Amino acid sequence: MKKPKSAASLPRESEWVSRAKKGDKDAYRVLVEGYQDRLYGLVLSMVGNPQQAEDLTQEVLVKAYFALPNFKGGSAFYTWLFRIGSNHCLDYLRRRPKSEISLDAPLSDTDDAISGVHRLPAPAAENPDAAADMPSEPVELLGSLPEDQRLILTLRELENHSYDEIAAIMRCNINTVKSRLNRAREALKDAFARKFGNISSARDVQSEGETRL
């Protein structure tokens, strides 16, 4: 499976963020359209269900809009957005709560500024059916891991974020990212071994054959 390129900031991102923080819904729409596909990919990899991933993605985008006043620009906007998305997914997976944000609820006068955001179409991602396209075994194995290990593997192996980006999203240092990633990879390897048994590599098989000759 081809890995997506690492996320890059939108042109004039700081301008769009500044305008969105002042209530410009068109500016926020630019930000959403720039990042919602990758955000959807993250959520889908975490929850495995396309419809639920779409709902959660919309919840994250609404939550991020209301949290915009707290965005100080210390990191890229997409890093901040993915942090909100990661935490939202972890909360969902750990507690399985009912939706905290009703996208169908009537908008109050103060909500009119983001009415367009609520009605955004489903992400036109290149992988809206990614869960169906991926072999079922890797999806099942990834889903068997603890939520924090599933998250870091998703960020690195599926979304192809750099160590720096993951550290910013997870609010930890790079050494911690590497340590957690190694543990998650080992856990995935163990899960694979439990399901399929120990499978010798081609090199091991070749070496064994040469030894017997």
**Annotated domain spans of the chain:** 9-133, 135-213
* Structure confidence by residue, pLDDT tens digits, 49-100: 899 999 999 999 999 999 999 998 888 898 999 999 999 999 998 876 444 4
Report residue 125's pLDDT band, with 50, 70 and 90 as the boundaries. Answer: very low
Report residue 110's pLDDT band, with 50, 70 and 90 as the boundaries. Answer: very low
What does pTM read for this prediction?
0.67
| Res 133: pLDDT | 46
Q: Are 160 and 4 in contact (CB under 8 A)?
A: yes
Question: What CATH class does 9-133 carry?
Answer: mainly alpha
- Which of 8-22, 59-73, 129-143, 151-165 is predicted with the least confidence, judged by mean pLDDT? 129-143
Residue 200 has pLDDT above 90, yes or no: no
Q: Are 68 and 21 in contact (CB under 8 A)?
A: yes
Residue 208 has pLDDT above 60, yes or no: no
Out of 3.40.190.180, 1.10.10.10, 3.40.50.620, 3.10.20.440, the CATH code matching 135-213 is 1.10.10.10
Mean residue pLDDT of the chain comes to 75
| Res 80: pLDDT | 93
Calculate the CA dihedral of residues 52, 58, 60, 61 and round it to 10 degrees: 160
